[in-house]
Amino acid sequence: MNTLTTPPVAPLLQRLYADAAQSSQRLAQLVGHLSREERVRLMSDPRGDYRAFYARAKDIHMPISPSTGELLYMLARGNGARHIVEFGTSFGLSTIYLAAALRDNGGGQVIGTELEPAKAAHARANLAAVGLAELVEIRQGDALETLARDLPATIDVVLLDGHKPLYAPVLALLAARLHAGSYLIADNADASPEYLARVRAPDSGYLSVPFAGEVELTMKL
Ligand SMILES: C[S@@+](CC[C@H](N)C(=O)[O-])C[C@H]1O[C@@H](n2cnc3c(N)ncnc32)[C@H](O)[C@@H]1O
Protein backbone atom coordinates (compact mmCIF):
# COMPACT_ATOMS: atom_id res chain seq x y z
CA MET A 1 0.00 0.00 0.00
CA ASN A 2 1.23 3.49 -0.78
CA THR A 3 -0.37 6.89 -1.22
CA LEU A 4 0.37 7.16 -4.94
CA THR A 5 -1.27 4.04 -6.28
CA THR A 6 -4.33 3.86 -4.04
CA PRO A 7 -7.53 5.98 -3.66
CA PRO A 8 -8.07 8.86 -3.40
CA VAL A 9 -4.81 9.89 -5.16
CA ALA A 10 -4.77 7.34 -8.00
CA PRO A 11 -8.29 8.16 -9.33
CA LEU A 12 -7.69 11.92 -9.02
CA LEU A 13 -4.48 11.65 -11.07
CA GLN A 14 -6.38 9.66 -13.68
CA ARG A 15 -9.07 12.35 -13.90
CA LEU A 16 -6.54 15.20 -14.02
CA TYR A 17 -4.59 13.52 -16.84
CA ALA A 18 -7.87 13.17 -18.78
CA ASP A 19 -8.53 16.90 -18.21
CA ALA A 20 -4.95 17.66 -19.29
CA ALA A 21 -5.42 15.74 -22.53
CA GLN A 22 -8.41 17.98 -23.29
CA SER A 23 -6.62 21.21 -22.41
CA SER A 24 -3.57 20.26 -24.50
CA GLN A 25 -5.76 20.84 -27.55
CA ARG A 26 -6.01 24.50 -26.51
CA LEU A 27 -2.22 24.65 -26.28
CA ALA A 28 -2.09 23.54 -29.90
CA GLN A 29 -4.43 26.45 -30.75
CA LEU A 30 -2.24 28.85 -28.77
CA VAL A 31 1.04 27.98 -30.46
CA GLY A 32 -0.17 26.06 -33.54
CA HIS A 33 0.22 29.06 -35.86
CA LEU A 34 3.89 29.45 -34.90
CA SER A 35 6.70 27.78 -36.81
CA ARG A 36 8.87 25.26 -34.94
CA GLU A 37 11.64 27.88 -34.68
CA GLU A 38 9.22 30.47 -33.29
CA ARG A 39 7.95 27.96 -30.72
CA VAL A 40 11.47 27.08 -29.61
CA ARG A 41 12.29 30.80 -29.36
CA LEU A 42 9.13 31.46 -27.31
CA MET A 43 10.04 28.74 -24.82
CA SER A 44 13.78 29.37 -24.67
CA ASP A 45 14.30 33.12 -25.08
CA PRO A 46 15.41 34.48 -21.69
CA ARG A 47 14.17 37.94 -22.71
CA GLY A 48 10.79 36.63 -23.96
CA ASP A 49 7.53 37.82 -22.39
CA TYR A 50 6.87 34.59 -20.52
CA ARG A 51 4.32 36.17 -18.14
CA ALA A 52 2.06 37.09 -21.08
CA PHE A 53 2.41 33.62 -22.58
CA TYR A 54 1.57 31.80 -19.34
CA ALA A 55 -1.36 34.17 -18.70
CA ARG A 56 -2.81 33.08 -22.07
CA ALA A 57 -2.15 29.44 -21.05
CA LYS A 58 -3.89 29.77 -17.68
CA ASP A 59 -6.42 27.00 -18.45
CA ILE A 60 -3.85 24.57 -19.82
CA HIS A 61 -2.37 21.92 -17.52
CA MET A 62 0.90 21.01 -19.36
CA PRO A 63 1.75 18.32 -16.77
CA ILE A 64 4.82 16.14 -16.48
CA SER A 65 4.23 12.67 -17.90
CA PRO A 66 2.95 9.96 -15.54
CA SER A 67 6.35 8.21 -15.82
CA THR A 68 8.13 11.39 -14.75
CA GLY A 69 5.65 11.64 -11.88
CA GLU A 70 6.51 8.12 -10.78
CA LEU A 71 10.20 8.95 -11.10
CA LEU A 72 9.69 11.96 -8.79
CA TYR A 73 7.89 9.75 -6.29
CA MET A 74 10.68 7.13 -6.40
CA LEU A 75 13.51 9.64 -6.02
CA ALA A 76 11.81 11.42 -3.13
CA ARG A 77 11.07 8.10 -1.41
CA GLY A 78 14.59 6.86 -2.16
CA ASN A 79 16.43 9.75 -0.53
CA GLY A 80 13.89 10.05 2.30
CA ALA A 81 12.95 13.58 1.22
CA ARG A 82 11.39 15.95 3.76
CA HIS A 83 11.91 19.26 1.93
CA ILE A 84 10.99 19.64 -1.74
CA VAL A 85 10.84 22.70 -3.99
CA GLU A 86 8.86 22.81 -7.22
CA PHE A 87 9.23 25.52 -9.89
CA GLY A 88 6.02 25.49 -11.99
CA THR A 89 3.01 23.96 -10.20
CA SER A 90 0.20 24.53 -12.72
CA PHE A 91 -2.83 22.43 -11.62
CA GLY A 92 -0.67 20.47 -9.18
CA LEU A 93 -0.21 17.09 -10.88
CA SER A 94 3.53 16.97 -10.19
CA THR A 95 2.87 18.38 -6.72
CA ILE A 96 0.59 15.43 -5.97
CA TYR A 97 3.37 12.93 -6.80
CA LEU A 98 5.82 14.85 -4.60
CA ALA A 99 3.40 15.29 -1.69
CA ALA A 100 2.44 11.59 -1.88
CA ALA A 101 6.12 10.72 -1.44
CA LEU A 102 6.38 13.02 1.59
CA ARG A 103 3.27 11.44 3.12
CA ASP A 104 4.83 7.98 2.69
CA ASN A 105 8.16 9.24 4.07
CA GLY A 106 6.38 10.30 7.25
CA GLY A 107 5.90 14.05 6.56
CA GLY A 108 7.60 17.15 5.23
CA GLN A 109 6.81 20.06 2.94
CA VAL A 110 6.64 20.79 -0.76
CA ILE A 111 7.04 24.47 -1.63
CA GLY A 112 5.41 24.95 -5.02
CA THR A 113 5.45 28.12 -7.12
CA GLU A 114 2.96 29.24 -9.74
CA LEU A 115 2.60 32.51 -11.66
CA GLU A 116 -1.10 32.20 -12.42
CA PRO A 117 -3.52 32.78 -9.51
CA ALA A 118 -6.25 30.57 -11.03
CA LYS A 119 -3.84 27.68 -11.47
CA ALA A 120 -2.53 28.05 -7.91
CA ALA A 121 -6.15 27.88 -6.68
CA HIS A 122 -6.83 24.75 -8.76
CA ALA A 123 -3.68 23.12 -7.40
CA ARG A 124 -4.62 23.90 -3.80
CA ALA A 125 -8.11 22.47 -4.36
CA ASN A 126 -6.72 19.29 -5.96
CA LEU A 127 -4.32 18.72 -3.08
CA ALA A 128 -7.04 19.35 -0.52
CA ALA A 129 -9.36 16.91 -2.32
CA VAL A 130 -6.92 14.06 -1.63
CA GLY A 131 -5.87 15.10 1.87
CA LEU A 132 -2.37 16.28 0.91
CA ALA A 133 -2.83 20.05 1.42
CA GLU A 134 -1.10 20.11 4.80
CA LEU A 135 2.12 18.93 3.13
CA VAL A 136 2.19 21.71 0.53
CA GLU A 137 2.66 25.48 0.44
CA ILE A 138 1.94 26.98 -2.97
CA ARG A 139 3.50 30.40 -3.45
CA GLN A 140 1.66 32.37 -6.08
CA GLY A 141 3.91 34.70 -8.07
CA ASP A 142 7.13 34.66 -10.06
CA ALA A 143 9.53 32.01 -8.73
CA LEU A 144 12.40 34.48 -9.05
CA GLU A 145 10.69 36.37 -6.21
CA THR A 146 8.81 33.64 -4.31
CA LEU A 147 11.88 31.39 -4.03
CA ALA A 148 14.19 34.23 -3.03
CA ARG A 149 13.01 34.00 0.62
CA ASP A 150 11.89 31.67 3.42
CA LEU A 151 13.36 28.40 2.24
CA PRO A 152 14.24 25.40 4.41
CA ALA A 153 17.90 25.03 5.44
CA THR A 154 18.23 21.91 3.28
CA ILE A 155 16.37 20.84 0.15
CA ASP A 156 16.24 17.15 -0.80
CA VAL A 157 14.45 17.25 -4.17
CA VAL A 158 13.86 20.04 -6.72
CA LEU A 159 11.52 19.85 -9.70
CA LEU A 160 12.16 22.47 -12.40
CA ASP A 161 9.11 22.74 -14.69
CA GLY A 162 8.38 26.46 -15.16
CA HIS A 163 9.72 28.78 -17.88
CA LYS A 164 12.79 26.96 -19.20
CA PRO A 165 15.26 29.89 -19.44
CA LEU A 166 14.74 30.46 -15.71
CA TYR A 167 16.06 27.02 -14.69
CA ALA A 168 19.60 28.36 -14.13
CA PRO A 169 18.52 31.47 -12.14
CA VAL A 170 16.15 29.34 -10.04
CA LEU A 171 18.95 26.83 -9.38
CA ALA A 172 21.12 29.74 -8.24
CA LEU A 173 18.48 30.59 -5.61
CA LEU A 174 18.44 27.02 -4.27
CA ALA A 175 21.95 25.66 -4.79
CA ALA A 176 23.41 26.51 -1.38
CA ARG A 177 20.68 24.43 0.30
CA LEU A 178 21.29 21.23 -1.66
CA HIS A 179 23.28 18.44 -0.01
CA ALA A 180 25.06 15.32 -1.22
CA GLY A 181 22.28 13.10 -2.52
CA SER A 182 19.80 15.89 -3.31
CA TYR A 183 18.11 15.45 -6.68
CA LEU A 184 17.22 17.99 -9.35
CA ILE A 185 14.73 16.89 -12.00
CA ALA A 186 14.44 19.37 -14.88
CA ASP A 187 11.62 18.72 -17.37
CA ASN A 188 12.38 19.40 -21.05
CA ALA A 189 15.73 20.90 -20.10
CA ASP A 190 16.91 20.92 -23.72
CA ALA A 191 15.29 24.35 -23.92
CA SER A 192 17.61 25.52 -21.16
CA PRO A 193 21.21 25.26 -22.42
CA GLU A 194 22.54 27.53 -19.68
CA TYR A 195 21.14 25.15 -17.04
CA LEU A 196 22.54 22.07 -18.80
CA ALA A 197 25.98 23.69 -19.07
CA ARG A 198 25.87 24.46 -15.34
CA VAL A 199 24.93 20.97 -14.09
CA ARG A 200 26.95 19.02 -16.68
CA ALA A 201 30.24 20.90 -16.24
CA PRO A 202 32.95 18.48 -15.03
CA ASP A 203 33.68 20.60 -11.94
CA SER A 204 30.03 21.45 -11.24
CA GLY A 205 29.65 19.35 -8.09
CA TYR A 206 26.77 17.50 -9.76
CA LEU A 207 26.35 14.27 -11.67
CA SER A 208 23.84 14.82 -14.44
CA VAL A 209 22.30 12.71 -17.19
CA PRO A 210 19.51 13.15 -19.74
CA PHE A 211 16.90 10.58 -18.73
CA ALA A 212 14.13 8.84 -20.67
CA GLY A 213 14.06 11.58 -23.31
CA GLU A 214 12.09 13.79 -20.94
CA VAL A 215 14.11 15.11 -18.05
CA GLU A 216 17.64 16.04 -17.02
CA LEU A 217 18.29 14.05 -13.84
CA THR A 218 20.94 15.54 -11.61
CA MET A 219 22.36 14.52 -8.24
CA LYS A 220 24.39 16.78 -5.98
CA LEU A 221 27.70 15.07 -5.19
C1 LIG B 1 4.72 22.95 -17.64
S2 LIG B 1 3.68 23.76 -16.51
C3 LIG B 1 3.95 22.93 -14.98
C4 LIG B 1 3.25 21.61 -14.88
C5 LIG B 1 3.29 20.98 -13.51
N6 LIG B 1 4.65 20.85 -13.01
C7 LIG B 1 2.63 19.63 -13.55
O8 LIG B 1 3.33 18.63 -13.77
O9 LIG B 1 1.40 19.57 -13.44
C10 LIG B 1 4.59 25.25 -16.25
C11 LIG B 1 3.94 26.16 -15.24
O12 LIG B 1 4.94 27.04 -14.75
C13 LIG B 1 4.34 28.29 -14.52
N14 LIG B 1 5.43 29.27 -14.57
C15 LIG B 1 6.16 29.63 -15.66
N16 LIG B 1 7.10 30.53 -15.32
C17 LIG B 1 6.96 30.75 -13.98
C18 LIG B 1 7.63 31.60 -13.06
N19 LIG B 1 8.61 32.41 -13.45
N20 LIG B 1 7.26 31.52 -11.76
C21 LIG B 1 6.26 30.71 -11.36
N22 LIG B 1 5.57 29.90 -12.21
C23 LIG B 1 5.91 29.92 -13.50
C24 LIG B 1 3.33 28.43 -15.65
O25 LIG B 1 2.29 29.36 -15.34
C26 LIG B 1 2.83 27.00 -15.81
O27 LIG B 1 1.64 26.78 -15.09
Q: Taking a C-beta distance cutoff of 8 angstroms, is the pair 156, 83 a contact?
A: yes
Give pLDDT, residue 29. 83
Residues linked to residue 137 through DSSP beta bridges, in sequence order: 111
Average pLDDT over residues 72-85: 98
Report how far residue 144's alpha carbon sits from residue 162's, in angstroms, rounded to the nearest whole number: 11
Kindly indicate the confidence band of residue 181, based on its pLDDT and cuts at 50, 70 and 90: very high
Mutate to test the pocket of ligand 1, among 62, 72, 147, 192 (most ligand atoms within 8 A of CB): 62
Which element (helix H / strand E) includes 136? strand 136-140
Question: What is the reported pTM?
Answer: 0.96
Q: Taking a C-beta distance cutoff of 8 angstroms, is the pair 60, 52 a contact?
A: no
**Which tens digits make up the pLDDT trace of 4-23?**
999 999 999 999 999 999 99
**Which tens digits make up the pLDDT trace of 135-161?**
999 999 999 999 999 999 999 999 999
Which element (helix H / strand E) includes 113? strand 109-114
Measured CA angle at 200 (ends 198, 205), to 5 deg: 80
Kindly indicate the confidence band of residue 37, based on its pLDDT and cuts at 50, 70 and 90: confident
- Mean of pLDDT over the chain: 94
Distance in Å, CA 113 to ligand 1 centroid: 8
Kindly indicate the confidence band of residue 28, based on its pLDDT and cuts at 50, 70 and 90: confident
Give pLDDT, residue 41. 75
Tell me which residue of 104, 101, 93, 159 sits closest to 126, measured CA to CA.
Answer: 93
* Residue of the CA atom closest to atom 8 of ligand 1: 63
Report how far residue 186's alpha carbon sits from residue 5's, in angstroms, rounded to the nearest whole number: 24
Lowest mean pLDDT among 53-62, 64-73, 131-140: 53-62
Ligand 1 atom with least separation from CA of 86: 6
Mutate to test the pocket of ligand 1, among 12, 15, 54, 59 (most ligand atoms within 8 A of CB): 54
Report how far residue 74's alpha carbon sits from residue 104's, in angstroms, rounded to the nearest whole number: 11
How many CA atoms lie less than 13 Å away from 91 in the CB half-sphere?
A: 20
Give pLDDT, residue 44. 77
Mutate to test the pocket of ligand 1, among 19, 59, 89 (most ligand atoms within 8 A of CB): 89
Edge-to-edge strand ranges of the sheet holding 206-211: 136-140, 109-114, 83-87, 155-160, 178-187, 215-220, 206-211
Tell whether ligand 1 has an atom less than 6 A from the beta carbon of residue 170: no
Helical H segments across the chain, by residue range: 9-31, 36-44, 50-56, 66-78, 93-105, 117-129, 143-146, 167-174, 193-200
